[in-house]
Amino acid sequence: MPNIHKRKDGYYYVRIPIGKDEDGKHQYDIIFDKKKTVLEEKLKDYEKNKGINGERLDKTPFTLSEWTYRHLFNSVHANVSASTFNGYMSLYETHIKDSDIGNMKIKDIKPMDLQNFLNNLKSKGKHTEGEQLAASSVRKLKFVLSNTFKSAMINNLVAHNPMDYIKLPKNTKKEKTRTALTVKEQSAYIKACSSELYEFLYILALFTGMRMGELIGLKWEYVDLKRKVITISETIKYTTVYDSEGHSHKEHVKKAPKSEKGKREIPIPKSLLTKFKELQLKTTGDYVFSTSNGTPLNQGNINRGHTAICKRAGISHIPFHSLRHTYATRLLEAGENFKTLQELLGHADISTTMNIYAHVLEKTKKNTADKLDKLFSKML
């Protein structure tokens, strides 16, 4: 029986010589397992059946693209939300499927191949074609690949996980700044909303800081006009949904907020109560904002309306999410504290709130210093 060795990651393995390749290099079958006793049983089976319980590495048929697809549907699909899985599939379709490294046999891929692949990832988006891929997308792709090779190890397709040696490339792409409307722009935006079908949705976003998915999922049962509060308890996103066989279709997917802090109550400004009551008289369905047949809106409807509003208002186009940043900025400018802001925005951790809006704090500090300077100058 060949000698059993133990790797640094805790796995036991044996290498069994199986001859030489055409270049004269020695070739081996590698069998491994986390438990030594299980490995011994695998080895007995191998000696009896010449590898019946373990794939011979020189015969492994799968490409990286094929095995990633199998891994996603066999191990990931049932354990994550539809939107998370859709994100993984988008990365797979865009960067792995039909790519040079995706077409390589998984057993032939070296750490250098993977490092070069991650180092040279480019965006294929409509407005960002050829730019360096965002750091968050690179991290997700690294996560997917690491788990893909881990799955390949467990199934004896590779001897080790080459992703263990990979470092995230330094990302030189500048982070997008969190854009908020100025007071003047906000006023122009509100006036421009009057021509939009879902006028109140955009105003509500500005006055409550609700996320798009929270607005889409808002039901009348979550709006308490007597207490003047909105309860956030679910979000809705129109997204691609895959079944276990890989077939896909689009549907509205409901999900709870990411964290307990995401479940929250937001005060309704008095100035919006009349608009809420007027809208309530016009709607018959469960949702505050819906299509003519009572179904939830989708992101495309809302984004198109937002783009039209920006154009009518004469302001540069900003993402819809910037309405949320505008709400937070106005609160900080009015002297609200970060703890209250965290609760209103539904951030799980106050450090998230402080990191995002630190630049606003610096601006308010300067304004405060200017006011104090004027006050003290009068005393001198």
Tens-digit pLDDT profile for residues 274-310:
999 999 998 888 999 999 888 999 999 999 999 999 9
Structural contact between residues 295 and 289, judged by C-beta atoms closer than 8 angstroms: no
Asked whether residue 47 falls in the same domain as residue 191, the answer is no
Asked whether residue 45 falls in the same domain as residue 97, the answer is no
Of 20-29, 143-152, 259-268, the poorest mean pLDDT is in 20-29
Tokens of 92: 């797979």
Q: What is the pLDDT of residue 101?
A: 96
Please indicate, yes or no, if residue 377 is contained in any of the structural domains: no
State what percent of residues in the chain have pLDDT above 90: 49
Q: What is the pLDDT of residue 235?
A: 94
Q: What is the pLDDT of residue 176?
A: 61
Asked whether residue 272 falls in the same domain as residue 127, the answer is no
Please indicate, yes or no, if residue 48 is contained in any of the structural domains: yes
Tens-digit pLDDT profile for residues 25-57:
666 667 777 888 988 887 777 665 554 344 455
Q: What is the pLDDT of residue 136?
A: 87
Tell me the residue range of the domain where 118 lies. Answer: 64-165
Average pLDDT on 264-268 reads: 94
Ramachandran area for residue 241 (φ above 0: left; ψ -120 to 50: alpha; else beta): beta
Q: What is the pLDDT of residue 55?
A: 47
Farthest CA pair distance, the chain: 98
Q: What is the pLDDT of residue 125?
A: 63
Q: Higher model confidence: residue 49 or residue 242? A: 242
Q: For the purposes of burial, counting CB atoms within 10 Å of the CB of 231, is it exposed (0-12), middle (13-18) or buried (19 or more)?
A: middle
Please indicate, yes or no, if residue 171 is contained in any of the structural domains: no
Please indicate, yes or no, if residue 321 is contained in any of the structural domains: yes
3-class secondary structure, 139? helix
Does the structure show a pLDDT above 90 at 129? no
Q: What is the pLDDT of residue 354?
A: 80
Q: Higher model confidence: residue 47 or residue 250? A: 250
Q: What is the pLDDT of residue 52?
A: 38
Q: What is the pLDDT of residue 237?
A: 92
Task: Select from 135, 165, 195 the last residue of a domain.
Answer: 165
Query: Nearest-CA neighbor of 29 among 41, 37, 38, 42?
Result: 42
Structural contact between residues 320 and 189, judged by C-beta atoms closer than 8 angstroms: no
Tens-digit pLDDT profile for residues 65-106:
999 998 999 889 989 989 899 999 999 999 999 899 999 999
DSSP code, position 157: S
Sign (positive or negative) of CA dihedral 275, 276, 280, 283? positive
Asked whether residue 265 falls in the same domain as residue 135, the answer is no
Please indicate, yes or no, if residue 175 is contained in any of the structural domains: no
Q: What is the pLDDT of residue 265?
A: 94
List residues bridging with 30 in a β-sheet: 15
Please indicate, yes or no, if residue 137 is contained in any of the structural domains: yes
Split at pLDDT 50, 70, 90, the class of 1 is: low
Asked whether residue 34 falls in the same domain as residue 70, the answer is no
Asked whether residue 206 falls in the same domain as residue 352, the answer is yes
Asked whether residue 234 falls in the same domain as residue 340, the answer is yes
Q: Higher model confidence: residue 238 or residue 45? A: 238
Calculate the average pLDDT of the chain: 85
Q: Higher model confidence: residue 229 or residue 126? A: 229
Q: What is the pLDDT of residue 53?
A: 43
**Cα 91–92–94 angle (5° rounding)?**
65
Asked whether residue 52 falls in the same domain as residue 88, the answer is no
Average pLDDT on 162-182 reads: 79
Count: domains in the chain = 3
Asked whether residue 316 falls in the same domain as residue 258, the answer is yes
Split at pLDDT 50, 70, 90, the class of 18 is: low
Q: How many residues does the chain have?
A: 380
Asked whether residue 105 falls in the same domain as residue 125, the answer is yes
Task: Select from 59, 85, 104 the last residue of a domain.
Answer: 59
User: pTM, whole model, 2 decimals?
Assistant: 0.71
**CA of residue 205 relative to chain centroid, distance:** 21
Q: What is the pLDDT of residue 231?
A: 95
Asked whether residue 198 falls in the same domain as residue 268, the answer is yes
Please indicate, yes or no, if residue 336 is contained in any of the structural domains: yes
Cα–Cα distance measured from residue 300 to residue 198, given in angstroms and rounded to the nearest whole number: 13
Split at pLDDT 50, 70, 90, the class of 9 is: confident
Does the structure show a pLDDT above 90 at 112? yes
Average pLDDT on 138-161 reads: 91
Please indicate, yes or no, if residue 177 is contained in any of the structural domains: no
Tens-digit pLDDT profile for residues 360-372:
766 665 555 555 5
Of 290-304, 316-330, 333-347, the poorest mean pLDDT is in 333-347
Structural contact between residues 104 and 260, judged by C-beta atoms closer than 8 angstroms: no
